[in-house]
């Protein structure tokens, strides 16, 4: 029996009301992938030059492309519009919808990579005329972009770098046995969107009220159930339903990241998270690593200004190279 029966309905607090993403991205549209039975939501700010750079962002499990909204606006401002940002809602997340009449449960890494690559190819059908792409992935999304990089390179897209946000294979796999107890601490749902935003801020899941008010409305949906024990708003992607895929997302990530054929950046919210393979790789100068103090797992939401600075710096170092200077991460 849910604890909801004992709980008085809470009035929405306007301090946590949703904020539209329209001032953070220039466009929001659906990308039809008929071959994959998917209608993908993307948020996009194009670069001001046709041959500019686009940072392609993939979110973590349970979140949506809007978790990059604040960072995206800062990247556009900091780069004077030279860098565009494209943020994608993954399958079963945000406003991406299945067009199949079959159950759309499969979130295994291969499916997610193929979705990601297909979105990029649909938006930029001509690899030669495509902008330079920098792939940015948070948590589960880090695993997707790292593995998608090789496919896009083989298809002749120019990839200026891969940036992975707060995920390390070793610690991700070590954390898996503890995930169920963490999920048990999450409510089944909420009385209002405002309550969902407030819960994320109170638990410090997200530490930035503006970002939470933009991103959290996309991670819940109306339950459409009038029963008193079913909350009016429930999780759009119940994380427990993704449990069969957790191992699959992260196994082999360190090796893939260290061997990707472009510049590599790892941004962490804490210092104690490198596994042995990454430690050796870091000593060999195979990637750039930056730790952002004062942030939690949602570091790009907690401190979007700092993350934007890091990303624009990564772009400057790797896109606008003086001939003869090695890229970061190139041995």
pLDDT of residue 4: 45
For the chain, list the domains and their CATH numbers: 3-319 (3.40.50.1820)
Say if CB 294 and CB 190 are below 8 A apart: no
Q: Cα separation of 31 and 42, whole Å?
A: 7
Q: Does residue 17 come out as left (phi exceeding 0), alpha (psi in the -120 to 50 range) or beta?
A: beta
Contact 232, 224 (CB under 8 A): no
pLDDT value at residue 1: 41
Look at residue 166 in the predicted model and tell me its pLDDT. Answer: 95
What confidence category does residue 322 fall into, taking pLDDT thresholds of 50, 70 and 90? Answer: very low
Strands (E), 158-211: 159-165, 189-190
**What pLDDT score does 102 carry?**
85
Looking at residue 327, its pLDDT comes to 55
Categorize the per-residue pLDDT at 2 as very low, low, confident or very high, splitting at 50, 70 and 90. Answer: very low
Who wins on pLDDT, 324 or 155?
155
Rounded CA gap, 104 and 115, in Å?
13
d(CA 150, CA 261): 7
Name the pLDDT band for 104 (thresholds 50, 70, 90). Answer: confident
With cut-offs at 50, 70 and 90, classify the pLDDT of residue 271: low
Look up residue 126 and give its two tokens: 């001509």
What is the tens place of the pLDDT at every residue in 30-42? 999 999 999 999 9
**Which residue is catalytic, options 297, 300, 302, 303?**
297
Q: Which residues of 225-253 are buried (b: 16+ CB within 10 A; e: fewer)?
A: eeeeeebbbbbbbeeeebeebbeebbeeb
Residue that the structure tokens 């849910």 belong to: 2
Residue of higher predicted confidence among 182 and 90: 90
d(CA 25, CA 45): 5
List, for residues 184-203, the tens digit of each pLDDT value: 889 999 999 999 999 999 99
Q: What's the pLDDT score for residue 36?
A: 95
- Catalytic residue check, 139: yes
Distance CA(279)–CA(276), nearest Å, equals 5
Strand-pairing partners, residue 163, are 136, 265
Catalytic residue among 89, 114, 115, 166: 166
Q: Which of 64, 139, 143, 211 is catalytic?
A: 139
Where do the H-state alpha helices sit in 234-289?
246-250, 253-259, 276-283
> What percent of the chain has pLDDT above 90?
81
For residue 324, pLDDT over 80 is answered with no
Q: Are strands 220-222 and 189-190 parallel, antiparallel or unpaired?
A: unpaired
CB-based burial label for 313 (10 Å; 0-12, 13-18, 19+): middle
Could you tell me which of 63, 7, 1 has the C-alpha nearest to residue 232? 7
- Per-residue model confidence (pLDDT) at position 193: 97
Q: Is 192 helix (H, G, I), strand (E, B) or coil?
A: coil
pTM of the model: 0.93
- What one-character-per-residue DSSP string does 4-64 give? GGGSPPPPPPGGG----GGGT-SEEEEEEEGGGTEEEEEEEE--SSTT-EEEEEE--TT--
- Phi/psi at 141 (nearest 5 deg)? -65, -30
Which tens digit of pLDDT belongs to each residue from 58-81? 999 999 999 999 999 999 999 999
Tell me which of 197-201, 246-250, 271-275 is least confident: 271-275
Residue closest to 87 by CA, chosen among 218, 196, 222, 253: 218
């Amino acid at each position: 029996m849910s604890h909801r029966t004992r709980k008085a309905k809470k009035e929405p607090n306007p301090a946590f009301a949703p904020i539209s993403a329209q001032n953070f991205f220039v466009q929001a549209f659906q990308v039809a992938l008929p071959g994959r039975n998917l209608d993908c939501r993307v948020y996009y700010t194009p670069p001001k030059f046709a041959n500019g750079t686009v940072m392609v962002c993939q979110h973590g499990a349970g979140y949506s492309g809007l978790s990059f909204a604040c960072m995206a606006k800062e990247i556009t401002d900091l780069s004077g519009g030279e860098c565009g940002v494209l943020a994608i809602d993954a399958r079963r997340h945000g406003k991406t919808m299945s067009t199949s009449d079959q159950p759309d449960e499969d979130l295994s890494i291969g499916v997610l990579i193929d979705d990601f690559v297909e979105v990029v190819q649909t938006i930029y059908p001509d690899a030669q005329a495509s902008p330079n792409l920098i792939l940015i992935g948070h948590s589960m999304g880090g695993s997707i972009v790292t593995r998608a990089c090789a496919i896009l390179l083989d298809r002749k897209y120019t990839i200026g770098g891969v940036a992975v946000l707060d995920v390390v294979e070793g610690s991700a796999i070590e954390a898996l046995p503890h995930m169920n107890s963490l999920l048990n601490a999450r409510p089944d749902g909420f009385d209002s969107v405002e309550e969902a935003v407030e819960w994320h801020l109170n638990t410090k899941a997200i530490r930035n009220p503006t970002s939470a008010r933009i991103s959290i409305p996309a991670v819940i949906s109306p339950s459409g159930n009038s029963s008193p024990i079913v909350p009016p708003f429930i999780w759009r992607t119940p994380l427990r339903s993704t449990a069969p895929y957790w191992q699959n997302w992260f196994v082999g990530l360190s090796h893939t990241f260290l061997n990707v054929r472009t510049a590599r950046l790892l941004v962490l919210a804490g210092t104690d998270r490198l596994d042995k393979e990454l430690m050796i790789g870091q000593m060999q100068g195979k990637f750039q690593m930056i730790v952002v103090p004062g942030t939690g797992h949602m570091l790009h939401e907690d401190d979007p200004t700092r993350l934007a600075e890091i990303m624009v710096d990564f772009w400057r170092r790797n896109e606008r190279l003086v001939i003869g200077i090695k890229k970061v991460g190139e041995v």
